[in-house]
Structure 1
């Protein structure tokens, strides 16, 4: 990186955020591998006009120390395996509080210790149950992985993508150096970074910084990262 681009980057103070997704998604983050963090799940809509009355979230391997938050659905119920590890969390709304139609946005949350596996994606298969005004119940299974909501990769959108989070390594303000041991297809996972450098390629979520990259001599836009690649990230 030459001095002119470095000075230009220093003048960029605001980064753009990505738009909220319409499916069940995780709003909180960024998520740091090996840390205990709070995850907030956004339930943007019901099922074909019916109100949501139950949310069941399954936890991926390596997620431990789970502590759910009670919500408008009531107290959270935990399902554990034979060793006492939490495998899923269920929130169920009292029958008398189920609405006659799909009119509300819901959120549920939990805190958990995330596995120390940076540059990997964690999927949280989620089952959304709804009840219509006539009492008819239906369930939508948000369990697909590897599609458009796969934060680390994938080639196209999945019909019912599971909520997912992408684990980033520990970072400090300024420049951070890492060796990536996973294939990262979706550069949007670095949405809170100022710039990502890998050899003679670079990426930024900020349009102004991207325009600087495009004008930088002998530099191309970074579109994916292969395993074993050394990268520099500025936060």
Structure 2
């Protein structure tokens, strides 16, 4: 029995280490799938700072086809949006939209490395987007000391960023419209 218990303890200990979130965990989207031609609430999870340094800025580039973006203010953070023209008009609830928010920037905090937070906006996923594809939201995380760029996109022959990437951009799988 003691040999079995020792093996069970060893297996439990190994499992604990395997399932502990990595110190290199990246910024991710909480909801990873959504249908095109519908509203979407993007919740970006920021699990840590930059190598121990507190986060002071989060910049999210809005991909083409995500329109009508409205970011959620956060206490202790200032909020800025950068607007511009879209590469093509997009339909949103039956109306053509030609320009809008291209980047959202939260500055402030600071968010210490030992804490976690979320940064949120709502938007509309245009019906012109391609279902069964993935849309990427590059994020730059600036800290009191250092920067983390969550910007890696897939190469032309891949559907997702390299599994070994240290800095993948958060991705949203686009589903067919309902």
Could you say which residue in structure 2 is the equivalent of 1:156?
A: 163
Shift of the 140–62 alpha-carbon distance from structure 1 to 2, 3 Å rule, reads same
Could you say which residue in structure 1 is the equivalent of 2:121?
A: 110
Which one has the largest radius of gyration?
A: 1
Could you say which residue in structure 2 is the equivalent of 1:128?
A: 141
Shift of the 155–106 alpha-carbon distance from structure 1 to 2, 3 Å rule, reads closer
Could you say which residue in structure 1 is the equivalent of 2:107?
A: 92
Any runs of at least 4 consecutive aligned residues in structure 1 with deviations exceeding 3 A, and if so which? 152-155
Relative contact order, CA 8 A, sep 6+: which one is greater?
2
Q: Work out the CA distance in 1 between the residues paired with 2:161 and 2:81.
A: 31
Q: Work out the CA distance in 1 between the residues paired with 2:66 and 2:123.
A: 6
2:175 corresponds, among 168, 177, 188, to 168
Q: Which runs of 5+ in 1 are unaligned?
A: 1-18, 132-136, 172-235
Shift of the 98–123 alpha-carbon distance from structure 1 to 2, 3 Å rule, reads same
Q: Which runs of 5+ in 2 are unaligned?
A: 1-19, 86-97
2:66 corresponds, among 63, 66, 77, to 63
CA contact (8 A) 1:57 1:90 kept: yes
Shift of the 20–33 alpha-carbon distance from structure 1 to 2, 3 Å rule, reads farther
Q: Work out the CA distance in 2 between the residues paired with 1:20 and 1:39.
A: 22
TM-score normalised to the size of structure 1? 0.54
Aligned length in residues:
141
1:1-235 maps to which residues of 2 (within 5 A)? 22-81=25-84, 84-93=99-108, 97-98=109-110, 101-116=112-127, 117-131=130-144, 137-146=145-154, 152-153=159-160, 156-171=163-178
More deviation in 25-34 or 68-77? 68-77
Q: Work out the CA distance in 2 between the residues paired with 1:159 and 1:27.
A: 19
Q: Work out the CA distance in 1 between the residues paired with 2:117 and 2:134.
A: 24
